[in-house]
């Protein structure tokens, strides 16, 4: 019997040199279409809800999910359709946009560290601390000798989180240039999506090769045993949803989480409950 896990098909092994052009973003797994995959997607989504409840109840560990992608890659969709099954009481989404003046005054990991999940929590980074080796590199926002040192700093930061009980899962949502254009067209054709349109949607496309190179180096240098990167084929949204939910479920199941021991005498509580029910029945029959 093989010990190979589902997520091994998508993980970037530590030290592996990544070539995104060799990874098909339009993979369909073993399913022909969304309809054929719906039952499996629902199964893993429901299982994810159960595991998040267990994580919250146990209160010993936390989960950090990082989502990175080019424009229209599907980060919001992944959050809505997969991670939206989680109970919002123990789940939080943190968006990483242009740094505020306060954030600029600190080191580049400061805003990520303070947004990390506490024990029992799930935090989803919509973009993340990796922006500081991606967009800043592509647009020359800092000197090369500055961003080149950040890979080691990121690895140390994630190692520290893991040592404190945070399980880290990082997803790169891999789409093709053609698929990106199709999604831009849907935004143009749908007034409800016009708010998503920006000038950078098209101006950033000229930097596609530069972004691919930046992502490849980040994936290669920062995928570790305690904080792995996964390249998710995302041209088909249903494939993206299925793969992400299954990887998260598989990862959480391996934590072997347990419900904590009760803090009260259960037998005494049961006795009081039955006594209250008996009084209620006696009252109703008077």
Q: What is the DSSP string of the chain?
A: -----GGGGTB--TTPPP-GGGS-TT--TT-SSHHHHHHHHHHHHHHHHHHHHHHHHH-S-EEEEEEEESTTSSHHHHHHHTGGGS-GGGEEEEE--SPPHHHHTS-TTHHHHHHSPPTT-EEEEES-GGGGGTHHHHTT-S-HHHHTTHHHHHHHHHHHHHHTTEEEEEEEEE--HHHHHHHHHHHHH-GGGGGG--THHHHGGGGHHHHHHHHHHHHHHH--SSS-EEEEE-SSHHHHHHHHHHHHHHHHHTT---PPPPSS-HHHHHHHHHHHHHHHHHHHT-
Angle between helices 150-163 and 208-222 (to 10 degrees): 50
Cα dist. 236→127, 168, 219 in Å?
20, 25, 22
pTM, full prediction: 0.92
The β-bridge partners of 240 are none
Residue 278 has what pLDDT?
A: 83
Residue 3 has what pLDDT?
A: 65
Determine the length of the chain: 286
Residue 277 has what pLDDT?
A: 84
Residue 274 has what pLDDT?
A: 87
- Give CA–CA dist 64/246, Å, rounded: 16
Residue 280 has what pLDDT?
A: 75
Question: Per CATH, which fold does 6-284 belong to?
Answer: Rossmann fold (3.40.50)
Give me the residues of the chain with pLDDT under 50, please. Answer: 1-2
Residue 253 has what pLDDT?
A: 97
Residue 64 has what pLDDT?
A: 98
């Amino acid at each position: 019997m093989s010990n190979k896990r589902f997520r091994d098909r998508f993980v970037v092994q530590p030290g592996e040199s990544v070539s995104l052009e060799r990874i098909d973003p339009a993979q369909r797994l073993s399913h022909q279409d969304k309809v054929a995959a719906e039952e499996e997607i629902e199964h893993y989504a429901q299982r994810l809800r159960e595991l998040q409840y267990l994580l919250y109840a146990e209160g010993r560990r936390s989960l950090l999910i990082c989502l990175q992608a080019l424009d229209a890659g599907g980060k919001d969709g992944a959050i809505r359709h997969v991670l939206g099954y989680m109970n919002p009481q123990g789940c939080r989404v943190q968006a990483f946009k242009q740094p505020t003046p306060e954030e600029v005054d600190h080191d580049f990991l400061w805003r990520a560290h303070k947004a990390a999940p506490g024990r029992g929590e799930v935090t989803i980074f919509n973009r993340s601390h990796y922006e500081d080796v991606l967009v800043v590199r592509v647009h020359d926002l800092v000197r090369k000798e500055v961003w080149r040192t950040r890979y080691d700093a990121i690895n140390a930061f994630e190692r520290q989180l893991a040592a404190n009980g945070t399980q880290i899962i990082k997803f790169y949502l891999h789409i093709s240039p053609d698929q990106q254009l199709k999604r831009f067209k849907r935004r143009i054709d749908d007034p409800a999506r016009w708010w998503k349109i920006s000038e950078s949607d098209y101006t950033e496309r000229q930097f596609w090769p530069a972004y691919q190179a930046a992502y490849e180096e980040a994936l290669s240098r920062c995928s570790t045993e305690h904080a792995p990167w996964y390249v998710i084929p995302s041209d088909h949204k249903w494939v993206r949803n299925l793969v992400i939910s299954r990887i998260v479920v598989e990862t959480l199941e391996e934590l072997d989480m347990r419900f904590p021991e009760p803090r009260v005498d259960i037998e005494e509580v049961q006795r009081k409950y039955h006594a209250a029910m008996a009084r209620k029945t006696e009252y109703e029959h008077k």
